[in-house]
Amino acid sequence: MLVSDLLEGKGLAVATITGEATVGSAVADLARHRVGALVVSPDGRTIDGIVSERDIVQRLSELHIKLLDQPVASIMSASVHVCSPMDDVETIMNLMTERRIRHVPVVEGALLCGIISIGDVVKSRIGELEKDRNELMEYITAR
């Protein structure tokens, strides 16, 4: 299965935020969009970084309430692992496991065109396993 197949099922919408926005705004956007990460982008098409719930919690332990007024750029991960729509989902699963990341933006050329979460990957894998199981059951009962 390809990343493009996952995007076809889940859609191409990506929650983004600018690097100048406050961490408080990022917290509100994470809750509003019901996502675990926001792509940091000045225009919704290019990627400056990514900020996740984990990034916020780690810095919150240091700065406490002062963190909410800090710019997102001060806590975002600037080194972002990305994939293309033509990448295999298994490759992305391995990337997420090896790098201990939960969100991978999808880019085509240099432009943002989607995002894949660990939940999307797990859902896809469960679907594949259910399909295999059903095919085996059909084979067994058809005999």
pTM: 0.85
Distances, alpha carbon 129 to alpha carbons 32, 118, 122, in Å: 32, 16, 11
Which pLDDT belongs to residue 68? 87
Condensed to tens digits (0 to 9), the pLDDT of residues 134-143 reads 888 888 887 6
Residues 6+ apart with CB under 8 A from 52: 36, 37, 38, 77, 102, 103
Q: Is the pLDDT of residue 105 over 90?
A: yes
Token pair for 121: 């990957």
Average pLDDT of the residues in 104-112: 93
Per-chain mean pLDDT for the chain = 92
- Provide the pLDDT confidence category of residue 66 given band limits of 50, 70 and 90: confident
Which pLDDT belongs to residue 143? 67
Query: Domains (ranges, CATH) in the chain?
Result: 3-142 (3.10.580.10)
Give me the phi and psi of 39, to 5 degrees please.
-80, 130
Which pLDDT belongs to residue 4? 93
**What type of residue sits at position 43?**
D
Q: Is the pLDDT of residue 64 over 90?
A: no
Token pair for 67: 């963190």
Which sign, positive or negative, has the C-alpha torsion 52, 9, 46, 97?
Answer: positive
Condensed to tens digits (0 to 9), the pLDDT of residues 69-95 reads 999 999 999 999 999 999 999 999 999
Which pLDDT belongs to residue 29? 97
